[in-house]
Amino acid sequence: MRNYLLCLLLGFLPLVARAEIVEQDVRPGVTATADYASGERGKPAVLLLHGFLQTREFPTVVAVARTLHDAGYTTLSPTLSLGIPHRKQSLPCEAVHRHRMEDDVDEIARWVKWLKGRGHHAIVLFGHSFGSLQLLAYLNGKPDTAVKAYLGTSLIEAQIGALERAPLLADLESRVQRAQPALVTHPLSFCSKYVSTPAGLLSYAKWGQPQTLTALKQAPVKAALIMGDSDPMLAPGWLKALGHLQVPIVIVKGANHFMDGMHEFDLVEHAQAFMDGMKAARR
């Protein structure tokens, strides 16, 4: 029995040794963390971003990161701080949210710079759900030239419930201009009651379908999507609208928003195929 347990321990040692938790200060008093696993130097590095209010421990991101690292790719999976030092847990919708899309984009930029500082000059962005949107927001700004490609999965716009977007944006902009700091509660993404500052909610609510489609169409790098055709989070006609952009899309039949169960194999297979295609293009 002792020898058996020793074999198990030794079997886990490579998994422990190949990954490390890294951190950096993203703003005064706020330190963000990420899982970093070094791979083969000749392959691109992959920055993987979790969905709305989640962490890098979200199963969808973990599965893809593990598969890509097993295939030799360097992976970096940050947890967006959302203004919380060393954040380790997902945030409830009813918490007071003071973070903005601009803060998320800034952290993404910092992690890209961190990877580049480690000698990675070919970086691929992988996002799941709202993380796919946040990566598009980063690409919509001034992305680092080291970023070569983007792979979004279960991409959704910032959903705001039944209210029309224009009146909501006008109200929030008015509150911001008049410096009214009172918190607002409104649906956002999967939250039916999202509590935020007006500026915070405005920064996300701007990302409706038109802006999301435009950012994807104008992405300055190679872009592709993996979507499930049984995703209840998708607005009616969203897959059709994405299809009009002529961005390569893999539709996983029967897959939901999280591509869990047997569809996880489809997700990781298509993600690795995309990465291997990047490798082949570099030869």
How many structural domains does the chain have?
Answer: 2
2 domain-assigned: no
Residue 118 φ/ψ, nearest 5 degrees: -85, 5
Distance CA 276, CA 259 (A): 21
257 is a domain residue: yes
Question: Which of 3-17, 100-114, 248-262 has the least mean pLDDT?
Answer: 3-17
**Same domain for 189 and 172:** yes
- pLDDT digit string (tens) for 107-155? 999 999 999 999 999 999 999 999 999 999 999 999 999 999 999 999 9
Question: Is 7 within a domain?
Answer: no
Q: Of 37-41, 80-84, 196-200, 276-280, which gets the smallest average pLDDT?
A: 276-280
Within-domain flag for 5? no
Domain membership flag for residue 6: no
CA distances (Å), 171 to each of 178, 197, 258, 262, 267, in order? 11, 12, 33, 44, 40
Tell me whether residue 115 is in a domain. Answer: yes
Q: Domain range spanning residue 178? A: 159-205
How many CB atoms neighbour CB 139 within 10 A?
21
Angle between helices 101-117 and 198-205 (to 10 degrees): 70
pLDDT in tens, 50-90: 999 999 999 999 999 999 999 999 999 999 999 999 999 99
Averaged pLDDT score across all residues of the chain: 92
Same domain, 74 and 153: yes
What's this model's pTM, rounded to 2 decimal places? 0.92
- Residues 103 and 144 occupy one common structural domain: yes
Do residues 128 and 248 both lie within one domain?
yes
Specify whether 194 is located in the same domain as 268: no
CATH number at residue 67: 3.40.50.1820
- Please give the span between the terminal C-alpha atoms of the chain, in angstroms, as a whole number: 49
